[in-house]
Amino acid sequence: MSQDSKFDFSFSEIENSLKSRPFYTLFFNLVILSLFFIQALRAYVPGVYVAMFHVVFGHNLVENLFILLTLIFFVVPALTNTICKKIGIRRVLISSIYIIAISRLLIAFHLPNLWQTILSGIIIALYGMFISTFITLWVKDESIEIKMSNKIKMIAFSLLSAFLLDYLIRTIGFSQDISLLPPGLNAEFWYITQYLWLIIQIPLTGVCIYFTRLYFPRFASIPDLEEHDKSDKKSTAHSLIFIGIGMFWFLLFNIFLYPNTIAHYTGTSYYISNILSIVVLIAIIGIILRVKMQSFLNIKVSVILNSLMIISLCLFLFMGTLLSYFAVVLTSFCLIIIYLNFFVLFSHMATVIFKWEKVKTVSNLFAIGTSFYILFTVLHIFSTDWAYVIAAFKGYGPLIVVLAGVLLSISVFISLKINQTRMER
């Protein structure tokens, strides 16, 4: 018996079904495009933050107002279904890959802040279109004899691998965020190393486009986008689980993706936090690949884990300095549950259709999720860095983070209840 057959997930099943070239093309593009999305999301918010600061205090209003107008990009994924009906779902899928790859290459040339922010917004919007059209084709393609759970895990594995790759890149100093300057590294040398990324980005973009043109999986025909199983149609009220994805982005991109932030809250070593965060990512990838899908859908287990996550999050935020390295361990525990919550929501997104069609279900997740991410990020800024602007917000930063954790937990609970209802029918 092969090693893969002992577990729920099997790479060999997917490779045998797709054949080698389409399989490796699919995996490469999913990881790299997800990496571009993560990098864009990290770069976009600081750009908007600076623009908002200058608008509030009256500096270079025209340019900075233009940057703030790029927030409209978050509406674009919600239009995916309409665009697909006009030009075809496959064309939208392939076009989004090309635009994301080229936009990320342009960012690597270190254009002025205005253009970097615009291009980052374009990547975020087009990634929502890419992943929604891809999931629709991937899930509905009955010509590929792959279990649904393996299809979902393949996508989740690619996303988490992109997070891990981004973390490793930033660890060795290729970050575009000056706040992540590794201790002891000369700032001028750091600025020069940013151009080394251009040497990496050129082949990444080239290979991504080349693979897409030649080997990207040719999905079989699927039913019209408006046709779907009405028995699986959920009311729009259930779309509130989309808020959970926004809270996932918020918690990661404001706290847990940055070891220097963790070190600040706990008064511990940057290096320890960095190592533990990488270990957590590797561990969660292993858990998702090796644990059967049904194990993640147990409501009682989820409630217990999320309750412990909220408690750990509170201890980290309010008693981090006192608990020191124990708080760092609590952070690692929180991260594991946060990633598991993301996997539950992502799995649910890929298998359930709400009032909208499948492609619109997924694209709206990104539109609504990223919008709530921006909303909570702005609230967090006004309660921390800008607490002097609106005094009423001062000191509420940790409470906003806890609220995000609670909303993430509630979203997961609603998602599991929907799944339980489906199973009982």
Tens-place pLDDT, residues 178-202: 334 444 445 565 566 666 778 888 9
Are 104 and 149 contained in the same domain? yes
Are 211 and 311 contained in the same domain? no
Are 59 and 93 contained in the same domain? yes
Are 206 and 239 contained in the same domain? no
Range of the domain at 145: 17-218
Establish if 332 belongs to a structural domain.
yes
Establish if 11 belongs to a structural domain.
no
Are 264 and 161 contained in the same domain? no
Are 208 and 235 contained in the same domain? no
Which of 189, 218, 247 marks a domain boundary?
218
Are 88 and 108 contained in the same domain? yes
Number of domains forming the structure of the chain: 2
Q: What is the pLDDT of residue 233?
A: 56
Establish if 12 belongs to a structural domain.
no
Q: What is the pLDDT of residue 231?
A: 44
Are 201 and 303 contained in the same domain? no
Instruction: Write the burial class of residue 228 (CB in 10 Å: 0-12 exposed, 13-18 middle, 19+ buried).
Output: middle
Establish if 88 belongs to a structural domain.
yes
All residue ranges of the chain with pLDDT < 70 are 1-8, 54-59, 142-143, 173-195, 220-240, 350-358, 385-392, 422-425
Q: What is the pLDDT of residue 327?
A: 92
Establish if 2 belongs to a structural domain.
no
Note the pLDDT tens digit of each residue in 6-19: 456 777 778 888 88
Are 40 and 187 contained in the same domain? yes
Establish if 111 belongs to a structural domain.
yes
Establish if 5 belongs to a structural domain.
no
Q: What is the pLDDT of residue 103?
A: 94
Q: What is the pLDDT of residue 205?
A: 93
Are 159 and 307 contained in the same domain? no
Q: What is the pLDDT of residue 1?
A: 36
> Whole-model pTM?
0.87
